């Protein structure tokens, strides 16, 4: 029996990552995984470490490392469950077309297995069926893509194929976008890899090419630790499952309620219509969760009633923040629970409910929207979660 970081450990060899990844692996994560898998060893799957995009309190994006090409070149990509088409920045890049990222761009000229996808072929048509749109280049008739996100950022370039390396697995003919132009900006990551439920997403291609079970699970870390995401079979011990649905590539759940210290919040927009369930979308690419404006206000008011040691900051309808009361000796934040069908509950402790700003204010990790419920990545951090696409269920830690 060896420690996972021992030089002879098979886990250390399979991960094949720099020592810095292991040095920052928190003891809390080790304890969490021991508890989750103490009944039996983890089932075989494809797993890769995950880190936060930033140590800043308000940034809860999550990245992982993949390798593309022959020889493989490492790329750090953002994980997005609401995105389908995957892409990385490629060189050569159009003038002023690429943004600054950590690490070099993927140079297609250095890979012996790189190829562009011709336009009017079935792979090109498959991309056009996603949120990306395609056309043909004037010269070599290559398949071109353009994908625009909800924040109006844009990536565009050539639809391509190359070998994808995940740990010890080599997946040949992986289809992705070679981005050579962007609008207006992205983070320091190389690109975005999608986990949506369609044929061309990163998740679906990995499942098909490696013959994995159609599910993915993850432990999203705090900004100072390392988590993981894995594709394939999983351990269901200690999890409670609720039905999961998909619509137009997006995953969503049946939301049945939100409570603050056990007291329910009215989710309906009017007294004339009180449905028992609401649609809540899932999006790891969104840092914060979205709530309809009327629900956001009710949640803020309820947290204000239950919080101790903080004074509410009034005047901003788009944010719910609190200043520390320096005369108070007690600090306490109420517990919020998000409830789903089958009485499954996601418990939001202080770390999943609030974040601290540089000036020590405490703010809710939610954003008001017109009428949409969406579960973002902040509310899922530091919890083992499963999205079983094959069985259309989602698992949360049992309360």
Q: Is 151 noted as a catalytic residue in this protein?
A: no
Residues 360 and 277 sit within 8 Å (Cβ to Cβ): no
**Range from 51-55, 163-167, 214-218 carrying the lowest mean pLDDT:** 51-55
> Does residue 317 belong to any structural domain of this protein?
yes
Helices and strands (DSSP H and E) totals, the chain: 7, 28
Do 222 and 295 lie in one domain? The reply is: no
**What pLDDT is stored for residue 21 in this prediction?**
34
15 and 122 in a single domain? The answer is yes
Residues 357 and 251 grouped into a single domain: yes
pLDDT band per the 50, 70, 90 thresholds, residue 326: confident
Residue 193 has pLDDT above 70, yes or no: yes
**Whether residue 173 is found in the same domain as residue 93:** yes
pLDDT tens for 226-283 read 999 999 999 999 999 999 999 878 899 999 999 999 999 999 987 656 788 999 999 9
Q: What is the chain's mean pLDDT, rounded? A: 84
What is this structure's pTM?
A: 0.84
Separation CA 320–CA 305 (nearest Å):
13
Confidence category of residue 59, pLDDT binned at 50, 70, 90: low
Pairing of strands 215-219, 384-388: antiparallel
Task: Indicate if 17 and 77 belong to the same structural domain.
Answer: yes
Q: How many domains does the chain have?
A: 2
Does 110 lie in the same domain as 63?
A: yes
323 is catalytic: no
- At residue 132 the predicted structure's pLDDT band, cuts being 50, 70 and 90, is confident
Tell me, what's the pLDDT at 259?
97
pLDDT of amino acid 168: 81
Does 58 share its domain with 196? yes
Residue 89 has pLDDT above 90, yes or no: yes
- Give the list of residues 6+ apart from residue 20 with CB closer than 8 angstroms, or none: none
Domain hosting residue 101, numbered range = 10-232
On whether residue 1 sits in a domain, the answer given is no
244 with 225, same domain?
no
Check whether 81 has a pLDDT greater than 80: yes
Residues 169, 171, 177: CA angle, nearest 5 degrees: 130
* Residue 321 · residue 313 · CB < 8 Å: yes
Domain's final residue, options 206, 232, 258: 232
Q: How far apart are CA 252 and CA 232, in angstroms?
A: 20
Given the residues 198, 235, 283, 388, the one annotated as active site: 283
Of 80, 198, 235, 388, the active-site residue reads: 80
What integer is the mean pLDDT of 200-209?
94
């Amino acid at each position: 029996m060896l420690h996972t970081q021992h030089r002879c450990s098979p886990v250390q060899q399979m991960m094949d990552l720099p020592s810095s990844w292991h040095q920052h692996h928190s003891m809390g994560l080790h304890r969490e995984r021991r508890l989750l898998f103490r009944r039996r060893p983890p089932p075989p799957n494809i797993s890769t470490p995950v880190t936060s995009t930033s140590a800043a309190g308000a940034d809860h994006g999550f990245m992982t490392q993949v390798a593309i090409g022959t020889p493989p070149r490492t790329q750090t990509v953002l994980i997005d469950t609401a995105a389908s088409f995957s892409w990385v920045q490629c060189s050569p890049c159009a003038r002023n077309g690429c943004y600054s990222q950590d690490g070099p761009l993927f140079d297609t000229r250095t890979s012996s297995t790189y190829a562009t996808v011709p336009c009017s072929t079935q792979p090109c048509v498959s991309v056009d069926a996603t949120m990306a749109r395609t056309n043909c280049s004037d010269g070599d008739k290559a398949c071109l893509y353009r994908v625009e996100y909800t924040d109006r950022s844009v990536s565009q370039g050539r639809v391509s194929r190359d070998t994808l390396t995940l740990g010890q697995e080599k997946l040949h003919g992986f289809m992705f976008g070679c981005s050579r132009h962007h609008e207006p900006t992205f983070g320091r990551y190389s690109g975005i890899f999608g986990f949506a439920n369609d044929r061309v997403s990163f998740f679906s291609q990995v499942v098909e090419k490696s013959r994995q079970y159609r599910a993915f699970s993850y432990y999203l870390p705090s900004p100072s630790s390392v988590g993981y995401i894995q594709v394939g079979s999983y351990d269901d011990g200690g999890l409670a499952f609720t039905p999961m649905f998909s619509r137009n590539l997006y995953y969503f759940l049946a939301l049945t309620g939100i409570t603050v210290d056990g007291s329910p919040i009215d989710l309906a927009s009017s007294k004339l219509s009180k449905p028992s369930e609401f649609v809540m979308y899932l999006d790891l690419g969104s840092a914060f969760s979205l709530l309809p404006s009327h629900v956001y206000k009710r949640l803020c008011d309820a947290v204000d009633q239950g919080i101790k040691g903080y004074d509410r900051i009034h005047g901003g309808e788009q944010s719910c923040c609190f200043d520390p009361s320096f005369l108070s000796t007690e600090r306490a934040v109420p517990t919020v629970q998000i409830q789903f069908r089958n009485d499954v509950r996601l418990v939001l402790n202080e770390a999943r409910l609030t974040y601290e700003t540089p000036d020590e204010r405490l703010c809710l990790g939610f954003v008001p929207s017109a009428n949409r419920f969406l579960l973002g990545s902040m509310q899922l951090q530091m919890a083992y979660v499963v999205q079983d696409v094959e069985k259309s269920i989602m698992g949360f830690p049992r309360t």
